């Protein structure tokens, strides 16, 4: 159905462009190089025949595929982000194409002995006989979420080239800075004008998600006193020791490496400091809203207990909510999930409905009035050197988009 080589060429053209976002920047987009892909996407959308192609002053790209039916069909949308994670470099990506994968180790970089192995990444074995696109071991790939963009553009192109497939009006949007939690911050829901949408930002083939973590960021600052260690008795306060007490007071097994499914966690993402001051950066996650609130309260209580023991206010906690579980916004409109599930089955994909252990633009958009479940884009091992994507999964994602458009039209026609 979808030309394989055309899809590969389009995807590789996207990942060749460095679009890494920067959490320390206060601009939108957070990095100037995100404009490079955004502007290319504008021209590409025009070239395939999309209408109302726009780019705003924040680099949000929107476009319309007009309806080709006479009856009233709800406007639906598809959304992906073009930035890549700052967790690992996205500069000078050199993708490798593995034809007819044999199920064994893949040498990504012989010189540095970097190997993508199914003995560690057992998901690889699902794709034996398929075409994989990997990194060369020195960068991430960018399938998160350039695979999603590639699939949306390819689906729109296919619908334009096949007017016999009936569909209502479709809106698409490509956003900056999703990887640093800001992808929806300047998203103009009213301008987008869709009744509902889907983010193409999931991982393995079949994923369909309408639940995600409630998320918060916590900065814990511990103020110490630095004194010459030879004369420190009764005077020095080593902030690093207090930081260790804070870390060890949290539940030991409630960390990402010990949790799965709907289990929440505390994740220490960064430690910076010395004797005089130490700053701990945490992310706090839980699917259950009440437990999420309790997790945040634990940080406050722990800081109060330490300050009481120290008889000084040396520990301060700054908490900031990042996004919430979209389930409460999706459940009243579950038919939009059911359409996606039906579309997957129709094109031969087994739906895997599960909660997201993370967040997408869709979680924020759902609370902004645009219900937005998440659909697989096909990639694995995001944010690092072992990232890969099976081309056949991308082809199926394109088919799912096309089928969602067609099913939505059929359901409202009848």
- Quick one: which H or E segment has residue 280? strand 277-286
Structural domains of the chain, with CATH: 4-211+325-413 (3.40.630.10), 214-322 (3.30.70.360)
Q: Would you say 170 and 64 are in contact if contact means Cβ atoms under 8 Å apart? A: yes
pLDDT at position 181 is 86
- Quick one: which H or E segment has residue 151? helix 143-161
pLDDT digits (tens, 9 = 90+) for 30-48: 999 999 999 999 999 999 9
pLDDT band at 366 (very low <50, low <70, confident <90, very high): very high
pLDDT digits (tens, 9 = 90+) for 185-201: 999 999 999 999 999 99
- The mean pLDDT value of the chain amounts to 96
Beta carbons within 8 Å of 177's beta carbon, 6+ residues apart = 21, 28, 29, 30, 34, 81, 83, 183, 185
pLDDT cut 90: percent of the chain above it: 96
pLDDT band at 412 (very low <50, low <70, confident <90, very high): confident
Residue 83 CA to residue 411 CA, distance in Å, equals 35
Using the predicted structure, report yes or no on whether residue 352 has a pLDDT greater than 70: yes
Beta carbons within 8 Å of 267's beta carbon, 6+ residues apart = 255, 256, 282, 283, 284, 285
User: In which region does residue 118 sit, left (phi positive, over 0), alpha (psi from -120 to 50) or beta (all else)?
Assistant: alpha
Using the predicted structure, report yes or no on whether residue 123 has a pLDDT greater than 70: yes
* Catalytic residue of the set 83, 136, 145, 157: 83
pLDDT band at 113 (very low <50, low <70, confident <90, very high): very high
pLDDT band at 414 (very low <50, low <70, confident <90, very high): low
Q: Would you say 140 and 385 are in contact if contact means Cβ atoms under 8 Å apart? A: yes
pLDDT at position 359 is 77
Find, among 153, 101, 151, 158, the residue nearest to 130 by Cα: 101
pLDDT at position 413 is 77
Percent of residues in the chain assigned helix, strand, coil, to nearest 5: 35, 25, 40
* Catalytic residue of the set 18, 151, 157, 178: 178
Query: b/e for 211-243, b at 16 or more Cβ within 10 A?
Result: bbbbbbebebbbbbeebeeeeeeeebbbbeebb
DSSP secondary structure letters along 186-212:
T--HHHH--SEEEEEEE-STTEEE--B
pLDDT at position 58 is 98
pLDDT at position 2 is 84
Q: In whole angstroms, what separates CA 272 from the centre of its chain?
A: 26
pLDDT at position 20 is 97
Tell me, yes or no, if 288 is annotated catalytic. Answer: no
Q: Which two tokens stand for residue 173?
A: 């949007």
Tell me, yes or no, if 83 is annotated catalytic. Answer: yes
pLDDT at position 193 is 98
Q: Which two tokens stand for residue 114?
A: 């970097």
pLDDT at position 384 is 95
pLDDT digits (tens, 9 = 90+) for 82-112: 999 999 999 999 999 999 999 999 999 999 9
User: What does the pLDDT average to over 334-354?
Assistant: 97
pLDDT at position 358 is 81
> Who has greater pLDDT, 360 or 170?
170
Residue 116 CA to residue 118 CA, distance in Å, equals 7
User: What does the pLDDT average to over 345-371?
Assistant: 93
User: In which region does residue 286 sit, left (phi positive, over 0), alpha (psi from -120 to 50) or beta (all else)?
Assistant: beta
User: What does the pLDDT average to over 285-311?
Assistant: 96
């Amino acid at each position: 159905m979808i030309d394989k080589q055309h899809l590969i060429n389009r995807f590789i053209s996207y990942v060749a462009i460095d679009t890494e976002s920067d959490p320390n920047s206060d601009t939108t987009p957070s990095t100037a190089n995100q404009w490079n892909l955004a502007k290319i996407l504008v021209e590409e959308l025009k070239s395939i025949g999309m209408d109302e192609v726009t780019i705003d002053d924040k680099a949000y790209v929107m476009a319309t595929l007009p309806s080709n039916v006479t009856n009233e069909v709800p406007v639906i949308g598809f959304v992906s982000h073009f930035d890549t994670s700052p967790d690992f470099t996205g500069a000078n990506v050199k993708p490798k194409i593995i034809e007819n994968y044999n199920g064994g180790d893949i040498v990504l970089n012989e010189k540095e002995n970097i190997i993508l192995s199914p003995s560690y990444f057992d998901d690889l074995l699902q794709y034996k006989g398929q075409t994989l696109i990997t990194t060369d071991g020195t960068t991430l790939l960018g399938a998160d979420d350039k695979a999603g963009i590639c699939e949306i553009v390819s689906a729109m192109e296919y619908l334009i080239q096949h007017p016999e497939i009936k569909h209502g009006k479709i809106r698409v949007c490509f956003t900056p800075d999703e990887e640093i939690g800001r992808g929806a911050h300047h998203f103009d829901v009213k301008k987008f004008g869709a009744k509902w949408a889907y983010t193409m930002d999931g991982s393995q083939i079949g994923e369909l998600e309408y639940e995600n973590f409630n998320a918060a960021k916590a900065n814990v600052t511990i103020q110490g006193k630095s004194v010459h260690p030879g004369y420190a008795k009764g005077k020095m306060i080593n902030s690093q020791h207090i930081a260790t007490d804070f870390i060890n007071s949290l539940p030991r097994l409630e960390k990402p490496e010990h949790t799965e499914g709907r289990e929440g966690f505390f994740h220490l993402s960064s430690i910076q400091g010395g004797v005089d001051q130490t700053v701990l950066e945490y992310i706090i996650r839980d699917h259950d809203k009440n437990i999420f609130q309790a997790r945040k309260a634990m940080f406050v209580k722990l800081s109060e207990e330490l300050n009481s023991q120290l008889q000084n206010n040396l520990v301060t906690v700054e908490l900031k909510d990042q996004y919430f579980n979209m389930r409460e916004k999706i459940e009243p409109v579950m038919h939009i999930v059911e359409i996606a599930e039906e579309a997957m089955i129709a094109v031969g994909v087994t739906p895997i409905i599960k909660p997201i252990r993370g967040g997408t633009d869709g979680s924020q958009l759902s609370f902004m009035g645009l219900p937005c479940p998440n659909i697989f884009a096909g990639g694995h091992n995001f944010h690092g050197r072992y990232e890969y994507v099976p081309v056949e999964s991308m082809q199926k994602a394109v088919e799912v988009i096309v089928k969602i458009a067609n099913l939505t039209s059929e359901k409202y026609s009848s």
